[in-house]
Amino acid sequence: MAHVNVFDTTLRDGEQSAGVNLNRLEKVEIAKQLERLGVDIMEAGFPASSQADFDAVKEIADTVRGCSVTGLARANKRDIDIAWEALKGGAEPRLHVFLATSPIHMTHKLKKTPDEVVETAVNMVRYAREKFPYVQFSAEDALRSDRDFLVHIIEQVIDAGASVINLPDTVGFTTPDEIGSLFRYVREKVPNIDQAVLSTHNHDDLGMAVSNSLAAVENGAGQIEGTINGIGERAGNAALEEIAVALQIRQDRYDFHTGLVLKEIKRTSDLVSRLTGMQVPGNKAVVGRNAFAHESGIHQDGVLKEATTYEIITPAMVGIDSNRMVLGKHSGRHAFKQKAEELGFELNESKLKEAFESFKNLTGKKKEVTDDDLFAILTDTQTEHEDQPKYELKAFQVQYGSINRPTATVLLTKPDGEEAEKANTGEGSVEAIYNTLDDLIDADVHLQDYQLSSIGRGRDALAEVHVQLTVDGVKASGRGSAQDVLEASAHAFLNAVNRTLYQHKRHEGYQKVQV
């Protein structure tokens, strides 16, 4: 069976999802899990877009050794130089440079003639190849480009040093037969195509990203690009977990395989969902919570007699286990550390102590502590910046009744160490808390979005809240979890505010990236 490279762009294209705003620690944690998942290439970000993205890409490239780390660059020297500074410490530095090739993009966005586009692409690929051992060229909006023009520019950039050619369906417009036809055409018409790997990158605007990816592989693509859970701009990207499992289950149909460690799929999906705040729909293929649930009596009877009657994928294949109680109030620090490592977390001593204290606190409130609970505690601890001046919730009280206007009193510690207390009202309990926090915080804060979900099931399940705020005009996302919905709401609000404080402090006085 032929090996197909997996190019994961969760940290770049996935983070472009509306409302997603990952910080450096969160990106690094996802990158470590993607490495455990076994991706071949990891697109860590767009280094030239911001100092924060540059820092995150550099740390990921310097940390991850099990796969190639790449970054995105426009077809100009500044982007390429900045990307090299971020990626040069990687185990296998790689650049992903793109330029639009469709008539609509060249005319209205680039305002360049086709000849000018070819010249720019060739010059920038050649320039990038002087630094990077591997250069991928993406013909943006390839599926709406003229085929003969594509053949011409592909031949030229391969001669200039491109080792991977990506033909993306940037707007999610194509169908499986169309993309298959394009890949066959390119393989037949480009004379030096044997010197490069063809890659496919599909958006899901018409719900065909996974099907289009598989069709491209059947017709010559040696690399598939996508994201975990299919997140991304607009309707998202091809879901890598669906592609990998499809290739595994339908080996009778597809003579290809990836190097993904399938049992790491669920853990990776959960981590990405939690850190991005993008909940996985219950009916989502492979990783949705109902993917292995059987409601129909006929289905239940069949599965009990023989699982394969209605289950083509076993839960264990993708790393789904029952949420049994694994640790309790009598569990010690050593057992907790071992479980954390099993769940994929490597904590330093201070963070291990902090996570263990949170765990002990939870065991005093919750009868059963599940893997999901531990995962939430460990994720929050691992992705919080240490020794960061911040707003910290000390205590709160809410008075609520069906005939009374809710009133919240909040006591918190400010970044300068001063304690402050205030009270305010709202139409509901959460609004009362948020109005009070707004009064206490020295910034102009506006709530844009609020999402509430549960971690696990049952009456004593943890509540998880994700919010999107603007803090002095800067967009920020935050999350919080607790057994009490109101406490989780307060933590999420403060988490978003603290993230903006950290970014401001970290980049105070920063100069633009110099190369």
* Phi, psi of 467, rounded to the nearest 5 degrees: -130, 155
Q: Are strands 94-100 and 134-140 parallel, antiparallel or unpaired?
A: parallel
Q: Is 201 annotated in some ligand binding site?
A: yes
d(C-alpha 478, C-alpha 465), whole Å: 8
What span, in angstroms and rounded, lies between the C-alpha atoms of 448 and 282? 25
User: Which structure tokens are listed for 389?
Assistant: 């001046």
Report residue 124 as tokens. Answer: 């920038």
Calculate the CA dihedral of residues 58, 60, 65, 69 and round it to 10 degrees. Answer: -80
Between CA 242 and CA 201 the distance in angstroms is 14
Q: Which residues of 60-91 are buried (b: 16+ CB within 10 A; e: fewer)?
A: bbbebeebbbbbbbbbeeebbbbbbbbbeebe
13 is in an annotated binding site: yes
CA angle 342-347-353, nearest 5°?
A: 110
Nearest in space to 150 (alpha carbons), one of 104, 100, 111, 194: 100
Question: How many other C-beta atoms can be found within 10 angstroms of the C-beta atom of residue 7?
Answer: 27
Say which residues have a Cβ less than 8 Å from residue 159's Cβ, sequence separation at least 6: 122, 192
Q: Which residues are annotated as a binding site?
A: 13, 201, 203, 237
Q: Which residues are annotated as a binding site for Mn(2+)?
A: 13, 201, 203, 237
